[in-house]
Amino acid sequence: QTVKLADYSETDFVFKDVFLTIRLFEGSAEIDSEIRIERRAGTAPDAPLVLDGDELTLTHLKLNGRAVAEADYDASADRLKVRNLPADDEFVLHVGTRIVPERNTKLMGLYRSNGIWCTQCEAEGFRRITYFYDRPDVLIPYKVRIEAPKDAAPVLLSNGNPGESGDLGDGRHYAVWDDPFKKPSYLFAIVAGDLERIGDSFTTASGTEVTLGIYTDKGKSHQAEYAMDALKRSMAWDERRFGREYDLDVFNIVAIADFNMGAMENKGLNVFNHKYVLLDPDTATDQDYAGVETVIAHEYFHNWTGNRITCRDWFQLCLKEGLTVFRDQEFTADERDRTVQRIGSVRRLKSMQFPEDQGPLQHPVRPGEYREINNFYTATVYDKGAELVRMIATLLGPEDFRKGMDLYFQRHDGDAATIEEFVKVFEDAASTDLSRFALWYHQAGTPTLTITEDYDASDDRYTLTLAQSLNQGAAKTGTEPMLLPVKFGLVGPNGEDRAVSASRGGDIRDDVIQLSEAEESFVFENVGGKPFLSVLRDFSAPVNLVHAQSEADRLALARLDPNPFNRWRTLNDLVGERLAKAGSQTGDQPTDPLGNELVGSIVETAGDDGLDPAFRAQVLNLPADMEIARLIGANVDPDRIHAAATSAREAIAAKGRSVFERLLNATPADARFSPDAASAGKRALANAALGYAAVGEGRPDRAFERIGNASNMTDRQAALAILVFRFPDHEMTQRALDIFYERYESEALVLDKWFALQGAAPGTATLDRIEVLYRHPRFTLKNPNRARSLIGSFAGMNPTAFNRADGRGYAWFRDRLLELDAINPQIAARMATAFRTWRMLEEERQRKIHDVLSGLANMPQLSKDLRDIVDRTLA
């Protein structure tokens, strides 16, 4: 059952509009759907109407008000087929289904969480509610009437604007919602429950007042205030930056405890994982605040990039996701700090997307086929997809990019569009040919960009050569040279970008080389002495950079480069290369893997009060072990990497001792909490310093003490993390965990942190502790956040414990996957991607993983979701 892009065709029938009546009862729900339908011109007169379903039971079926004869339809759990339909006239199909939201543990379609009825329809959840054309190119207006018990569900919400509501007697009531905007089924939503609300309003640039509401569980609404603030800032930003105004009278957000993903952009009714709404200083970290801000913005921005303009089919998923991630990144850059934002996105890209793109789950940003679409909500579609939009913006420059975006909204508003149409608006707006660029959407893999320099002192002539290459990977999608922007500067000894232009070579616009051939050279005359090359500034293209530059030059750039992102990257890359060398199996294991100069440079940067604290914290945050594994690429032994990273940290701690003491004292633990980016940056720096101070002196008590006197969760969790990660087997760590547990036993989101930290604790002793935690009364597989907290962090973020040499980590994880798969296949499949880099490991571990994966592949009960991941990972 592979779905192929090449097989796309329009539906045989055209839907005009739908009226849904949803009756909610304890233990079941009844759905009546009235669809106005017309045969599409060109459809054969005897063609049947075939609608999607998933685990559905049909209760009745009428055509133009009359029951359809048994001979004229087939209804199975996953399909409804109706024959002998009117040849020319429009007709009304009336479909009744009954479902049990309480038993819907997949959390797709209509389900109940904490007593609240809610829906998740993307990608194919609507077919779990009623038979429908459940595909994104069927755009119609929806009218919805919800009926429910008043006590369990005083609040009744759906998309669009509220209509009439009233009493039904018998303790029941109803509400009608009308969405005037045509939309696909995946954007449909209802929520019904006993919810608390905070309200606000926003006046759009053209003067419409929009009523804003955020709904939460009882007693939690005060925790939604920051989310409301983020929403208003998002609305204002989209007007300022992209000229996009909101279009309905109301905008509602609901926070739900059991939710498969981060959040969902349903028209006018965003449904969120409560993790991305609820916050206060005592329970949430700065990272949580930043996460809420990002996700609130992301879902809001989907109103234009996703809802007003949606995707023709699911192969175009990056059309809305890549673009919307780009937009939320730009929002964060404008609201917080551009450099720090970019460092965060690049770290994420390299740690999540690069491994995917270099392993068996590789796929292009716009895939050509899938077996299970839910497995394509990936780092490649989202994060690499955002990089592609960013490259268009860099290639075109801000003015032409904005012109292209304006044209996109103007030309495609109300459409279900394609990537080809998206690229075309920029070609038209900037009168340029982007065909070499469009290859990025179709060719999977991370290209290598190789830089060579030549300086001729006698002529003061500098030659820069760039070569790109792409290896054929698992997706086998081609390796043609692509158009990519390479932002660069020739830096002089005083940290000045030299104003020089190339006398020979290809296309350079301002400081951006528009590289499109496999290899291109650029010659610069009279450069004023040998420059330091600062290249791929701001990570202007998602490539592996190969640039043989002397350590002296790199360390000079780490101090001088006017591009602050590249200052960070220079240090981070140096650390990565050194740790890869020290951690690779064949190399010898030095006690000082970074070398004195690099350590000195890191400490110097950390101590430079002229720099932004958040930036300095990023410099102190060494690349994760898994990033080092990727750099090594083959025959990886996670224990060796961990040992190398540990010595590196010790070296930094020793050298920076006085600097770290100073940084610690500069930020008192009881400073009053404000979640703004500047304050968060100070906390990040102080907590990084605390980590090095504790490690340097071998003193877990310093972190332990901080847990006691911290006035906010950021500092408390950071201190606990120092204990768990740096002193995993110390008795003080267990004590700290116990104290933390007692304090937060009843706070679900904090308990998730507690489980997640322990799941990620390095070392071989971890698995035994995890087995105990797995039986903890607060642990459950039914809540996705909780399942991810322990099992996801173990398999996905704990290379030493998961990859125990004896293979016990793999076996334990396999058993959990099977249990989870029976409850929630989407989450099981997502977690199974922890094996995506298994071919990098040394042979013995590979053999053990191979056994586990082939064992899974042979199990008949696997869900389609999990089977797809297992099969592709093995292939």
Catalytic positions are 299
Choices 131-139, 146-154, 257-265, 626-634 (CB under 6 A): range interacting with ligand ARG = 257-265
Judged by CB, which is closer to Zn ion: 276, or 660? 276
* Chosen residue from 217, 288, 293, 321 binding ligand ARG by CB under 6 A: 321
Q: Would you call 148 exposed, middle or buried from its count of C-beta atoms within 10 A (0-12, 13-18, 19+)? A: buried
* Chosen residue from 122, 147, 357, 865 binding ligand ARG by CB under 6 A: 122
Task: Outline where 672-746 has alpha helix (H).
Answer: 677-697, 700-709, 713-726, 731-744
Question: Binds 263, which of ligand ARG, Zn ion, none (CB < 5 to 8 A, cut-off by type)?
Answer: ligand ARG
Encode 282-340 in three state secondary structure.
CCCCHHHHHHHHHHHHHHHHCCCECCCEEECCHHHHHHHHHHHHHHHHHHHHHHCCHHH
Least Å distance, CB 826 to ligand ARG, is 7
Least Å distance, CB 321 to ligand ARG, is 6
232 CB neighbour count, 10 Å cutoff: 16
Taking the chain, what is the end-to-end CA distance rounded to the nearest angstrom?
Answer: 17
- For position 261 contacting ligand ARG by CB under 6 A, the verdict is yes
Return the amino acid letter for 50.
V
Residue 569, C-beta contacts closer than 8 angstroms, at least 6 positions apart: 346, 536, 539
Least Å distance, CB 254 to Zn ion, is 17
Place of tokens 């190398």: 644
Structure tokens at 324: 């919307």
Cα separation of 461 and 718, whole Å?
51
Question: Binds 443, which of ligand ARG, Zn ion, none (CB < 5 to 8 A, cut-off by type)?
Answer: none
- For position 356 contacting ligand ARG by CB under 6 A, the verdict is no
* Chosen residue from 258, 299, 328, 752 binding ligand ARG by CB under 6 A: 299
Least Å distance, CB 294 to Zn ion, is 11
- For position 266 contacting ligand ARG by CB under 6 A, the verdict is no
Site track 375-414 with ligand ARG (rule: CB under 6 A), x = hit: --x-------------------------------------
56 CB neighbour count, 10 Å cutoff: 25
Cα separation of 765 and 245, whole Å?
54
Least Å distance, CB 321 to Zn ion, is 5
Do 764 and 804 form a contact (C-beta atoms < 8 A)? yes
Choices 52-60, 128-136, 258-266, 400-408 (CB under 6 A): range interacting with ligand ARG = 258-266
Q: Which residue is nearest to ligand ARG (CB)?
A: 377
Judged by CB, which is closer to ligand ARG: 310, or 717? 310
Question: Binds 704, which of ligand ARG, Zn ion, none (CB < 5 to 8 A, cut-off by type)?
Answer: none
- For position 264 contacting ligand ARG by CB under 6 A, the verdict is yes
- For position 767 contacting ligand ARG by CB under 6 A, the verdict is no
Structure tokens at 633: 């690429």
Place of tokens 């699911």: 314
Closest to 510 measured CA to CA, from 491, 543, 538, 486: 486
Judged by CB, which is closer to ligand ARG: 126, or 215? 126
Judged by CB, which is closer to Zn ion: 130, or 324? 324
853 CB neighbour count, 10 Å cutoff: 20
Choices 248-256, 262-270, 410-418, 558-566 (CB under 6 A): range interacting with ligand ARG = 262-270
- For position 111 contacting ligand ARG by CB under 6 A, the verdict is no
Encode burial over 471-500: b for 16+ CB neighbours within 10 A, e otherwise: eebbbebebebbbbbbbbbbbbeeeebbee
Do 273 and 256 form a contact (C-beta atoms < 8 A)? yes
* Chosen residue from 362, 374, 566, 824 binding ligand ARG by CB under 6 A: 374
Footprint (CB under 5 A) of Zn ion, residues 304-363 = 321, 324
Judged by CB, which is closer to ligand ARG: 263, or 622? 263
Encode 402-439 in three state secondary structure.
HHHHHHHHHHHCCCEECHHHHHHHHHHHHCCCCHHHHH
Least Å distance, CB 760 to ligand ARG, is 23
- For position 263 contacting ligand ARG by CB under 6 A, the verdict is yes
Give the chain's largest Cα–Cα span. Answer: 95
- For position 52 contacting ligand ARG by CB under 6 A, the verdict is no
Structure tokens at 564: 């602050």
Structure tokens at 31: 């759905």
Site track 449-488 with ligand ARG (rule: CB under 6 A), x = hit: ----------------------------------------
Residues in binding contact with Zn ion, number by CB under 5 A: 2
Question: Binds 122, which of Zn ion, ligand ARG, none (CB < 5 to 8 A, cut-off by type)?
Answer: ligand ARG
- For position 123 contacting ligand ARG by CB under 6 A, the verdict is yes
Closest to 198 measured CA to CA, from 230, 167, 173, 174: 230
Judged by CB, which is closer to Zn ion: 288, or 321? 321
Residues in binding contact with ligand ARG, number by CB under 6 A: 11
Cα separation of 310 and 417, whole Å?
6
Residues making contact with Zn ion (CB under 5 A): 321, 324
Residues making contact with ligand ARG (CB under 6 A): 122-123, 261, 263-265, 298-299, 321, 374, 377
